[in-house]
Amino acid sequence: MRVGRCGARMTGPLRVVGRAWLHRRRRLILAATAVLAALWLLDALFPPPLPTGDDGFIVLARDGSPLRAWPGRDGAWRYPVTAGEVSPRYIEALLGYEDRWFRWHLGVNPVSLARAAWQWARYGRIVSGGSTLTMQVARILEPVPRTPRGKLRQIVRALQLEWRLGKDDILTLYLNHAPMGGIVEGVEMASRAYLGKPSRALSHGEAALLAALPRAPGRLRPDRAPDAARAARDRVLERLGQFGIWAPGIVADARIEPVIAQRLQGAWLAPLAAERLRRQVRRSDRAGLTRVASTLDRELQATVERLLADRASILPPHVSIAALLIEVDTLEVRAYAGSADFADASRSAHVDMVRGVRSPGSALKPFLYAMALDQGLIHSESLLIDAPQSFGGYQPGNFQADFSGPVSVSEALQRSLNVPAVDLLDQVGPARFAEALASGGIRLRIATGEPPNLSLILGGAGVTLEELVGGYRALAAGGLAGRPRLTPDAPREESRVMSEGAAWIVRDILEGGGHPDRPFVETGGGQRLAWKTGTSFGFRDAWAVGVAGRYALGVWVGRPDGTPNPGFFGANMAAPLLKDIAAALPQDAPPTRERPASVQPVAICWPLGMRADDTPAPLCHRRRSAWSLAGAVPPTRPDRIDGSSLRQTVWVEPVSGRRTVPGCSAAEMREYARWPVMLQPWLGSFVPPSQQLPDWLPGCSPAVGASSGTLRIVGLSDGSRLKPAPHQTHVMLQLALRGASGNVYWLLDGNRVQPSPAGQLLLQEPGTHRLTAFDESGRHHSVAFTLDRPQGLN
């Protein structure tokens, strides 16, 4: 016998009752456990068809607006959102109209089901639905017939959803999968497709309208049936007012709102950028994502695409265009157009030429001049030689096939002269130049097994538009190049490709000419643009790249298959479009540009290239204002023909002023500034005779070798007059040269010409001409002649 808590002993019958109750409790627990286990097993064996990640994909602009979307496997268009990204007005309208007890029931509302069943039995039709929001989600995920058996299956699926998911998860499923008419599903896609705004900005009337759509999406589409949609919206508003969810004044104001919806359209922006992001996601560990935010600015993207489409309309077939615009400070891409018109398959619309590897032509020259500035080889007005030269057998020419003789660094860069650039690269070193560019994110693609060579600076390697724009960014970012960022979470990758001072000088040259004594003058509205063009060999690629205000931008024009386009070059094809894009940029206040302390103006003298203060007046033939970097004012470099000093002391006969040697005549010492030998053909009109080295006094020149003899053009005298033969429009001139040494270069009116193998030159343009010849020793001879107009032609 046991004693109870109060000390009384438990009798036999009480003990039996207690044991029976314990057995029943155990059986109830076991039964409940078995039921739960069975439910768990059934749920595991027959899970609800939750979304599997094949609901489509969407790429967003920086403001959240869609740029391009891909439908799900079922063909529906969705814009995934969470409840926190949707206007509370819509959530209130949805739950107030569809399921006021959503937060409290377990997936099924027995009261609503009983009411719906009684109405169906009494009237023989459905009067009011008994489905909860969870049941509607179950029917969306797994459509079932509207029969008692289908309703039972829907109830079971709703219970499974409540078992597996939280209330917010279920609500999110509805927000993204509710049918909204046609192929549109979800509140965000419906809001943007019909109303042109994000769902977070819905008014009360618009929220009620979208809450009503899923009841009959095909019949209530606001773009097709605005009257029916308005009536459905008003029913929602009536119920919200009836239950006190919205105040009467709010309901009254919402009823006044008109129902105006835009027609569904599949307009895309930045299709190739979106495709690039989609593939990146699919290859990454984020393959389950259904939306990706980009850094693209919707308005700028639309503007750039419109400009490209307008330009493409006047281009020949098969020619495409690519453009890239990035923000300097953040490296974020604001506009990305990989092709001219994504809908035009004839222009290889699906080929992304922002990433296409092509020859840049002369577009790399700013980096070379910046590198030479940093190495102390030049200042902005260093004297360079633009004349025919041979660099170990490599003989570059200029794009216009003429030569200018003496030019400054600023002039050579602005005019994109080839020979001075090749000469400078020869000093810097091609391998060193390629290595510096690679460290700045510009990887030069050179033929396999080939070392970097002098052709690099004229387009002898491949780059991408993306790399070039990221490199040019250095001109506006203190010398730091960077990798353009297409998503906000992309890493910020920067590297120094030039010093801050070199970047400032090169930008000043490209933007306004690089003249300290001539301030920049605006020539029109829009952004100040520092830009450079490039044209690849055979007119295959036309480039224009630059910086303007807060942006770096670039344009490529050509055929993606590499077919030549005669007459297409950077200045006439890419540069006008680059300027149009720059003019369309936001006209906000440009960032403050202060000249670095390392950059100072300095007066220099040609031909020596030294400071004017350190140059005697007789040796200062031309005074120029230059930018000096880190105080460096390097002297003019002697040319490869005569490496002696440009500052020479010579013996001169006092009366005639001609050179002599002691003992041959009376002599006195005078100091002269000598110009590089290769510039001699241009000095006649550039430097007064009094400033040039005097000729030798007859009989008093030193002994010379064979290579120092006189160079003469044979068969054409100075002042000759040539007449075409009767009924001919041209003269075939037979050229001959006496006393030449090494390679011979011919210039006709300053333009380089190449006689035929037989030494003949075709002349067709009437008028006065000058023919000049010079050899590798720098000796030259020039004759002037006149070609008469043809006679006797009908």
772 backbone φψ class: left, alpha, beta (φ>0; ψ -120 to 50): beta
Hunting for tokens 């001075």 — which residue is that? 420
Q: Does the active-site annotation cover 98? A: yes
Helix (H, G, I), strand (E, B) or coil at 469: helix
The first and second tokens of residue 628, run together, are 């000096």
Residue 107 DSSP SS3: coil
Distance CA(325)–CA(336), nearest Å, equals 7
Catalytic one among 131, 320, 362, 499? 362
Beta-carbon contacts of 8 under 8 Å, excluding residues fewer than 6 positions away, are none
Residue of 87, 98, 162, 327 marked active site: 98
Closest Cα to residue 265, out of 182, 336, 325?
Answer: 182
Catalytic, 382? Answer no
Element (H, E) at 513: none
Q: How far is CA 195 from the centre of its chain?
A: 32
Q: CA-to-CA distance for 139 and 132, rounded, in angstroms?
A: 11
**How far apart are alpha carbons 405 and 623 in whole angstroms?**
17
Element at 316 (helix H, strand E): none
Residue 328's identity, in one-letter code, is V
DSSP annotation of 195: I
CA 364, CA 369: separation in Å to the nearest integer? 9
Return d(Cα 735, Cα 713) in angstroms, integer.
Answer: 7
Cβ atoms of 78 and 185 closer than 8 Å: yes
Dihedral sign (CA 424, 428, 432, 433)? negative
Angle of CA points 232, 238, 242, to nearest 5°: 150
Question: Alpha helices, DSSP H only, in 429-499?
Answer: 430-439, 465-472
Phi and psi (nearest 5°) for 27? -65, -40
Whats the size of the chain, residue-wise? 794
Beta bridge partners, 335, equal 325
- Report the alpha-carbon distance of residue 311 to residue 704 in Å, rounded: 62
- By annotation, the residues acting in catalysis are 98, 362
